[in-house]
Structure 1
């Protein structure tokens, strides 16, 4: 499953009986004997990546539109927490073995370096900043997630050995909001504030995902989303959605320190509930987009160039774009822009950057040598 930002170094899971029969993974994923991909998780990853792209596309439309801002707030409360929870779930078996370290380097570190460089060069051109420096310590735009995933996954053995890891992760996130001096290195503020969602994923088991698939949970999910949207609409004049980015301290957001920890707990509770509702409506069977779930890393990293360029190229300047028709067109265009890179032809072209083999860079461990005839 290395083709997804949520599952770049994990072993495919065996689908529960209730999910039906899943075909072996295709495309960039390597099948493991006796294992099959669960279409539920591929569906969840694809739908989450579509929400990511739509959220980025709505960003320039927020000004002057309370409705778009409310939808934007709701989407940001769901999409990254959902990605990170699933990332944690598929990182449960990470023990820093040689094969896992290789996959971590080739599936996370190398794409981070290449796309951090590419985004910097792209920004020099679109934003007319020829002197902008390439800094591997200051993630630009989308690459922060790869830096965070690298840190979270390396610390997975620690969280797996603690008796109560989730309360500790929440305490770390709360303290991060009190620390404006953390700085921008590896976007550490985001790494720490999003940490509880990753640790929550580490603690989940297949039976927990079975719970959200129950019919009664699906029935409750829609009214919960409806209430959440109503609250988001009401809160537009009163709530700073920058809290949902989790990249700043309370002091940097201009509020008293005590609000940081409280907001961390409140947002974690709200986002966890919304993630459960989102997963309740993810299809359990194979669909037309199931295979695209194996290529979400491509969609995540590549759609950002179009999202960034669209603002610099004046695509949002026409007045009709900020009307109902324009908002619908922008939404559909964003979904298409993130879907195309998830398809096999595009993945084959960009595999060198997102899934390089780099066999020459690693020593063969004893297990591999023993398998060699």
Structure 2
């Protein structure tokens, strides 16, 4: 980290989610027309203009995801690094999920939308879950590792979650109080130690409120964070968050931020699950608003990379885990320290930036944006 105006028209799908974004009327301040992922313009058709703000936000969020993942091997013993990790983990995935929800507002169970969901989410999940399983088996010498599509590993949980969330979008759009219902579900998931971990269900349920919140947002809500006052407030907000995280770093389990376990599973009192779920939701929403307030509105050098965030997200895990499997951090103990933290941050930022570039996106289009008209009936192929 608040239903679409009736005057909205249809636009192309956003690359982060593969779903259509309703376009506001010409008089609306926030103009949404992200370029497609699973859909390419017809020959001779004019290219649809993208909103630089959302492309910038998606790119910066993915950079934070990659950086936070790269900090894990080098932050042991550093209270400051742990505090920064906690701050980033509070909002980086909530922000990305909220944007995914916002761009899923027009999802229904029409043949075209279902096809796009399968080709843009389900197919990449199958491909990359298989690739990561083979990577673990051979790069980390784990011969017992097999391919199980019921047990998402590392990064791929987000694709499972997005598939489930989007399928349930019509339900959330018809409830009177969808956000309240999703928060109750998240709280219950944080209390239940026996919940199945198939499809990483605890994390799917505990992150659900951010997706539902995104579904409730309208363009004018994003106008609020574009104001100068919001930008000025974002700086002290993050400063206060860092100070609080520094105090809390030795006192709080990082599992709360991963949201993949219940309170009893972490050895905490059952009631603390409700407190932490609601508290972290409030903190994540505030920090997401602060993050969006600081995102540039104009076209930047990295704006074009917003179209390739799914590639950066899915590929950077090979680099992070590959470095760990190779013993890089064990052989270079000096990386565990302030200098190492800076070097790893720069390396992760550079790597994920390169992975979001148009050449990489084109190379991976066969698995992240497959056409697959051959697999669907003709009415589903007409997108």
TM-score by length of 1: 0.93
Question: Does residue 220 of the first structure (1) align with residue 230 of the second (2)?
Answer: no
Give how far 1:324 is off: 2.3
1:348 aligned to which of 343, 351, 362 = 362
Match of 2:4 in 1: none
SS in 1 for 2:328: coil
Match of 2:208 in 1: 195
Give how far 1:177 is off: 1.1
1:132 aligned to which of 142, 145, 148 = 145
Give how far 1:11 is off: 3.5
Match of 1:315 in 2: 328
Residues 1:16 and 1:320: Cα distance change in structure 2 (over 3 Å): farther
Give how far 1:76 is off: 0.4
1:300-355 C-alpha deviation (Å, 9 max, x unpaired): 00111001111111222313212322211110110111111111111111111111
Q: Structure 1: state its 5+ residue gaps.
A: none
1:52-80 C-alpha deviation (Å, 9 max, x unpaired): 00000001112111111011111100110
Q: Does the Cα contact within 8 Å between 2:108 and 2:170 map onto a contact in 1?
A: yes
2:344 aligned to which of 320, 323, 330 = 330
Distance 1:234 1:24 in 2: 41
Give how far 1:231 is off: 0.4
Residues 1:178 and 1:27: Cα distance change in structure 2 (over 3 Å): closer
Distance 1:123 1:13 in 2: 42
Distance 1:337 1:61 in 2: 17
Distance 1:363 1:58 in 2: 46
Q: Does the Cα contact within 8 Å between 2:24 and 2:32 map onto a contact in 1?
A: no
1:246 aligned to which of 248, 259, 272 = 259
Distance 1:263 1:166 in 2: 17
Matches within 5 A, 1:351-362: 351-362=365-376
Give how far 1:290 is off: 0.6
Distance 2:216 2:176 in 1: 11
Distance 1:309 1:14 in 2: 44
1:32-67 C-alpha deviation (Å, 9 max, x unpaired): 979532110000000000000000000111211111
Distance 2:326 2:159 in 1: 27
Give how far 1:187 is off: 0.5
1:17-40 C-alpha deviation (Å, 9 max, x unpaired): 797999984898635979532110
Matches within 5 A, 1:120-159: 120-159=133-172
Distance 1:76 1:15 in 2: 36
SS in 1 for 2:99: helix
Give how far 1:13 is off: 4.0
Q: Does the Cα contact within 8 Å between 2:182 and 2:208 map onto a contact in 1?
A: yes
Match of 2:276 in 1: 263
Q: Does the Cα contact within 8 Å between 2:230 and 2:293 map onto a contact in 1?
A: yes
Give how far 1:210 is off: 0.2
Give RMSD over aligned pairs. 2.3
SS in 2 for 1:142: coil
1:300 aligned to which of 307, 313, 322 = 313
Match of 1:8 in 2: 18
Match of 2:119 in 1: 106
Distance 2:240 2:26 in 1: 31
Distance 1:282 1:292 in 2: 14
TM-score by length of 2: 0.91
Distance 1:19 1:357 in 2: 33
SS in 2 for 1:225: helix
Residues 1:2 and 1:339: Cα distance change in structure 2 (over 3 Å): farther
SS in 2 for 1:177: helix
Distance 2:268 2:34 in 1: 51
